Structure 1
Amino acid sequence: MCARTVAVDDDIGSYCVTKANGAYRCWGSSGSGDAVDATPLPDGIYRRVQLTRQGLIGLTEDGRLRAAEFTIPESPSQVVAFRQTNMWGDVGVCSLQSDGAFGMFLYDPREPDGPSTRAQPVEGGPFSRVYCAWEGMYAAVRADGTVMSNYATAPPGNDFAELALSIGIFCGLRTDGTISCHRPPADGVSILTVGPDLPAFPPGRYRSITATAGAVCAIDEQDALVCKRYDGRDMPIPPARYVFAEGGYNVLCAVRADGSTACFRHGGAGSLDLENVSDFAPVEPPLDPGW
């Protein structure tokens, strides 16, 4: 059974594979222990599962978000995509709903009266893509192709298809397949040492983009996965045909055209110092979607 998606947590660097039949497997550790010991999600067929600092979170085939260790409020409409990350010190679940709404749920386990979950909608939609990254950063592509962001100047234009963002980079993929990147304001990334250069991808059309804490990666029309450090230096990935990729923290995971998966890890994310970001190396042991 082939893999459908991979999910990388940009806070703790864990990663999960979800297969076409809804089964999933995760690697890494959360606040409650290793992935193999994590509390399982409620029964269901899952499209995407992520291992977070607060346990497993999954999106079911029928558009419901489920968490293993806390309660997520029911969305008014079906959820079509989500990502969990650290939002202002809380567990933040950011979701795109079928009606274009950007829903954000913040879970705080430290409340004096017990853990609480509160909804925080993001205005300005409807949206076609939504993104969250650690420490309260979020951005979205509106249905009209314009960009909204709470931490970086939105690039001009109404022809955006996807975004890639992390603590020191903000990139946009336009509908013509080109990519442009810029740096968020210095006061938002003061702990990151970066140079003046930016990632510049070879000419051609690209289909998707994603980012780790030190690299931006894109899949081109020939299904090649191209990765660049924030300063533009190449970060080679073993050649193959790739159909999906997701980055977070210091990990990049991808699904190949044959349904197999691969994950790669770079050094340097711990210090958030660009000069210490090393090349990607395969994660060991390699993922096996044929369990």
Structure 2
Amino acid sequence: MLQSWNDGPARQAVLEFLRTVTDDGPGRVVAADRVATFDNDGTLWCEQPLPPQFDFVLRRWAATAAADPSKRYVEPYRAAIERDGEWLRDYEHHVPELLQGMAEAFTGTTPERFEEIVRRFFAEVSHPDLGVPYEQVCYQPMRELLDLLAGHEFRVFIASGGGRDFMRVISEPVYGILRERVIGTAPDYEYRDGLLYRLPTLLGGVDDGPGKPVHIFHQIGRPPLFAAGNADGDVEMLRSARFALLVHHDDAKREYAYDAKAERALATAARDGWTVVSMRDDWATVFPTAPVEAAAT
């Protein structure tokens, strides 16, 4: 089990926790309460130099501006066309423009049409640095952890600030997680003439930071027993779990090394005793050598 993990404190902490909550004894937790939630970008797959969904949306914005020149100098379309990395990296200061752009990108689209667009993106676009399809930049050690938890009667969910409907397209083939177990930022829909159509408003707000425990409770009705994340937006979810796992990106050779937007998470991990996974030291392998597919869990 956890073959791609080096034998160290992080691997031992995970295995000991699973023994405690599944073996007979005072720490045993009934299967109904064995809930695990995982952030997606930077936790289950590579998020650098930009999250795959951001690449997806940037291409949509650029195409929209090409079809409508009036948007050429309006944010975020200008940033998308010019690939203005500085403006996009400073997204925390451009939330209104980004949310507006996100809302406009696919308003009026049916779920079937949106899924068709996403599938085409994954079929045609590769990671800009690694040169492989985006489905192959999932982390092999985390995929093994997902399977291990499922084997211990955990119900495993994705809880991400990213778009729920985007992640649903790849959650089963890439992670083995059923699409109904994907929690994320999602649009409202309306029903007209037998079809659903996306609206420009969000269902329950953004699933990030304090929004994550709220979205998790709305969908599951239980807090996570096990939670994993990698960034400041995961802190509240990790604090709500009995076991918190924080992925630390410190492997510049095999992936990327960065602490940006994870400073608070790392400080909280040190203070509260979370298990921190060093990609450099704890993972023998980072990416799968071949596409991974298995039965959904």
TM over 0.5, shorter chain: no
Relative to total residues, which structure has the larger helix share, 1 or 2?
2
Relative to total residues, which structure has the larger strand share, 1 or 2?
1
TM-score, normalised via structure 1 length: 0.27
Choose between structure 1 and 2 for higher RCO, CA contacts under 8 A separated by at least 6 residues.
2
| Rg larger for | 2
TM-score, normalised via structure 2 length: 0.26
